[in-house]
Structure 1
Amino acid sequence: MSRNGKPSLLISPNSVLANALLRSIDILRPRVLATRPSRIEFVVGTQINGAPHLGTNLVQTAAFLLAKIARREFSIDTGVRFGALDNAPHEVVLDPETHTAYQQTYYHALGKDKISELIDS
């Protein structure tokens, strides 16, 4: 129910996300109008820690959608570039006395060759 006692629209994570993506171009508009760039490139970073999950896919999809909308809205060349981060935690161990977390990355746990195989897969 809304504040005035009338039924309100159902709000779900899907409808909130859809509405946010519908107007996300407004985040870029002031910068684009002020600087008039010849190209916009969106960079998406991914941690290398296994097969991409829903969150990774969602962020990558949003980058492509935003690039498409920016191209249409501003008549400007756009692109999406991917960056791979090798700092994903493989194992985190807590010191029992200080409760300090010590992390070993996937890169250090698996080595360069295994990381390359993980990226390829």
Structure 2
Amino acid sequence: MNEVDDIDEEMGLMPLVAPYVEKKKEELQNNSKKILEENEKLKNKLANLTDKILLITEGKTDIKHIKTAFGCLENLDEELLNKIEFYDFNETKTLGYTELQPMLNYLSKLNNNNIIYCWLI
């Protein structure tokens, strides 16, 4: 046994179980590689599709919670973070559902490369 991940195939039922454990380990490693590759593809696709990502919420405190959540997340791509813009009301006004829904309908008809996310809570 050279590595921590190696299995002592001589112990107890291990001669029977070891091939299945090894096969599952390889499957998990392959799946992990596929997920990382797909993540990289999506990140590249997003980088090529958008100039900015606009986040809009109904209330003035909603965006504060979202900003805090982004601040707590680790390993976020810096380039992606730089594309995100938060529509912040600065304590002056809020958009309720009745104002926000028509605005989103109009924005959806625009032809642009930006992604607009809206939280209607």
Instruction: Identify the TM-score tier after normalising by the shorter chain.
Output: under 0.3
Which has the larger Rg? 2
Q: TM-score, normalised by structure 2?
A: 0.27
Q: TM-score, normalised by structure 1?
A: 0.27
Query: Which structure has the highest helix share of the two?
Result: 2
